A and B are shown apart, each in its own frame.
Chain A
């Protein structure tokens, strides 16, 4: 009897961590969003990207091994109005014919506690790469976990809005990017 109990306890001990460890790697595009907001003449303007692909691996037990890579199709932009959508494709903005995509590749993910993480990585836009630090929160869920993050990028660091558009009094340099990635465990 005691032998049996010991065996069950041993089995439980062995299988429990495996059963609890979820590795999130299947991103659910329909529940994932990328939005941005910037100020134009002091007026907040909202936009976003409708098409992007995310590859990620995240195991809450091993955050340091986590990895994320996002590729955004810049043609899927909503820049606030049809006029701005068209304008954003031009050379002074994204120069989309030469640089159709934006990418983010994580380099390091650090747990801050309380389901908060700090993700470092490289954002490449219009052929320019910059290191970014992005705070991310993780919310475990039944069918999918949600990863929310938000950071501010300076558009001029990437040459987004050159020439006459470099005037930050009209279109602010700071753009707040907010994303939500939903991923299911395996």
Chain B
């Protein structure tokens, strides 16, 4: 695969790092939420928030990269509707990578629990404490997350489908497999 068909090393690194962090933050969010109040619950909430803010930071870098770079073109032979669907899904994924942590941050502010990143860096509260708003934002955070889950399934499904069934080297675009010399 030519270099031109591959995302840059920075984009690839950000893609997998963000994916990994989301794969930790998501189940953690679902799990911690159900726990009865305990010191462990408080710890998990903090870890979740720290990981989420890390995603926000990396996603901000990633979106700025994307706005200043053109991704490698899709291989020939991909149907037009699939090209449109792919760019729509990618756009929404970028949006959610930002909107989910921001909604979490807003929710935490509204619930009156500031985010202190890694226990050392206090982030400003974005809104005043307000119980109703906190509950509303928790619902928003959840809805955005389950939208993300649906899109990620589509995204992974499409990549695997093109790679294994369409027999196009899709996974190499994001750095899987050997780098071919050009």
Contacts and interface: CB of A to CB of B under 8 A. Distances in A.
Interface stretch (A132-140, A148-156, A163-171): A163-171
Contacts, number: 39
Contact of B116 (A41, A84, A170): A41
Contacts of B42: 40-41, 170-171
A31 interface: no
Nearest to A39: B116
Interface string A99-124: 00000000000000000000000000
Contacts of B116: 41-43
A80 interface: yes
A42 B120 contact: yes
A80 B120 contact: no
Contacts of B120: 42
Given A41-B119, A43-B46, A43-B116, A171 B39 contact: yes
A137 to B, nearest CB: 27
Contacts of B113: 40, 43, 45, 80-81
A45 B116 CA distance: 12
- Chain B: number of interface residues, binned into ranges: 10 to 19
Contact of B112 (A81, A87, A170): A81
A40 B111 CA distance: 14
B114 A43 contact: yes
B112 A45 contact: yes
Contacts of A165: 39
A44 interface: yes
A42 to B, nearest CB: 4
A70 to B, nearest CB: 25
Nearest to A40: B42
10 contacts: A41-B119, A42-B116, A42-B120, A43-B46, A43-B114, A45-B112, A83-B37, A84-B37, A167-B39, A171-B39
Given A41-B42, A81-B111, A82-B131, 10 more contacts: A41-B45, A41-B46, A42-B46, A42-B119, A43-B113, A45-B113, A80-B113, A81-B113, A164-B39, A167-B39
